[in-house]
Structure 1
Amino acid sequence: MPPGASKTDVSPPSSFAIDLPDTLVQRAQRGEASAFEQIYRRFERPVFTLALRLTGQREEAQDVLQDTMFKLFDRIGEFRGDSPFWGWLRQIAVNEALMRLRRRNRQPFTEDSDEVELEGHDVLLPPAAADAALLAQALDRLPDATRSVIWLYHAEGYTHEQIGGLMGKTASFSKSQLARGTRRLREMLKITQEVDSHA
């Protein structure tokens, strides 16, 4: 687990909820292959979507999915049921995706030397972000760390302290990435809207 992160502060409630019967988890913990298969089918899409949003590459997202599921099979005995199963599995997926980003960049995420003051509008995605396809295209054009912070903050509900812990950085790092990334998204989506309106 990254420095500054703990089991209690890195798994916020998710807007994506999958009801998983306790009996299914217990069967998987006993090693039943059919139970593992059912769990895989239920969580394949949300894990892949999360990995794709963090890595920005379908092939890498597929690798994250496979690595996450391998770790799920290996660690399912550690799941005690005191938190939602998706929150537990999602944490594995986030860690796998961020680890791949670090390997891809071959260096840790760098801290910003200057402090960025967040304005109220800096933490809100622009209205055009409601168009999922446009937002996905714009996110793909952002730096890895910035894209990851925006997705973890807006879509997954992590706090700046939690994101900083996951990335081995500070809350200020997360805040500055969010502010700059949101401004950049606004610029890109505004340009897209203007192009569409004149088409």
Structure 2
Amino acid sequence: MTDQPPNPARSSFAIDVPDALLARARAGDRAAFEQLYRWFERPVFTLALRIGGDREEARDVLQETMLKVIGRIGEFRGSNGSPFWGWLRQIAINEALMRLRRDKRLAQEVGIDDTDVFSEDTAPPPPAAADAALLQRAMANLPAATRSVLWLYHAEGYTHEEIAGLMQRTPSFSKSQLARGTRKLRTALAIEEDLHA
């Protein structure tokens, strides 16, 4: 069985950036950087907010991410057909997780119980029909590590192995947090789980 999310979502970062715009940005064209900022502002902010849970911190992650993109744009080569948006998303994730590690929130909020039950085909979070504001509040109440795993797995389409690498943990940690977070969301949203589905 492969370790893929049930229905990998298309990342909000998946914006096709024209080669001409990238060339202008590499040449230091300010208008090109402004265009990139406008295109990626919302995806970076949303990802940072979902991982960190704090709007002010999400703004800081957005600024740091875009400053790193500007400073390192010459490093992006697009080798093996990798898109610019994937490179930028990786910078944003690293920045958001680095802040959690620095604040020691990844380590202190999550106690891992080896007996924690998880399933390879853990059901996705509640359907999109659920009240978005209620879901957002429920996500905000989860520990940072759990919230991060849920977001990276369901919204960004990362595998448990990839999440483990990003968070410097094991795939079992990712699976455990996904199961735990899904259960907590279901409880918070009072959604009955259909065991016979």
Q: What is the TM-score when the length of structure 1 is the normalising length?
A: 0.83
How big is the shift at 1:20?
1.1
**1:1-16 matched pairs, under 5 angstroms:** 14-16=10-12
Q: Secondary structure at the match of 1:80?
A: coil
Give the count of matched residue pairs: 180
Greater mean deviation of Cα atoms: 141-150 or 105-114: 105-114
Equivalent residues of 1:149, 1:177 under 8 A apart: yes
- Return the letter of the residue paired with 2:11: S
> How far apart in 2 are the matches of 1:48 and 1:189?
25
Which residue of 1 is the match for residue 95 of structure 2?
96
Equivalent residues of 1:128, 1:189 under 8 A apart: no
> How far apart in 2 are the matches of 1:15 and 1:54?
15
Equivalent residues of 2:119, 2:175 under 8 A apart: no
> How far apart in 2 are the matches of 1:126 and 1:106?
25
4+ runs deviating over 6 angstroms: none
How big is the shift at 1:48?
0.5
- Using a 3 Å threshold, how does the CA distance of structure 1 residues 107 and 148 change in structure 2: closer, same or farther? closer
Equivalent residues of 1:115, 1:172 under 8 A apart: no
Residue from 37, 40, 57 that aligns with 1:40: 37
Which residue of 2 is the match for residue 180 of structure 1?
180
Matched, 1:66 2:57: no
1:108-143 deviation digits (Å, cap 9, x = unpaired): 476724143324774321237643222111000000
Q: Secondary structure at the match of 2:114?
A: coil
Equivalent residues of 1:129, 1:189 under 8 A apart: no
Greater mean deviation of Cα atoms: 140-149 or 36-45: 36-45
> How far apart in 1 are the matches of 2:129 and 2:112?
26
Aligned CA-pair RMSD? 2.2
Equivalent residues of 1:48, 1:62 under 8 A apart: yes
- Return the letter of the residue paired with 1:15: S
Where do 5+ consecutive residues of structure 1 fail to align?
1-11, 192-199
- Using a 3 Å threshold, how does the CA distance of structure 1 residues 78 and 121 change in structure 2: closer, same or farther? closer
Which residue of 2 is the match for residue 24 of structure 1?
21
Q: Secondary structure at the match of 2:103?
A: helix
Equivalent residues of 1:14, 1:87 under 8 A apart: no
- Return the letter of the residue paired with 2:134: L
**1:1-199 matched pairs, under 5 angstroms:** 14-16=10-12, 17-81=14-78, 82-105=81-104, 108=107, 112-119=112-119, 122-127=122-127, 130-190=130-190
Percent identity reads 66
> How far apart in 1 are the matches of 2:162 and 2:129?
24
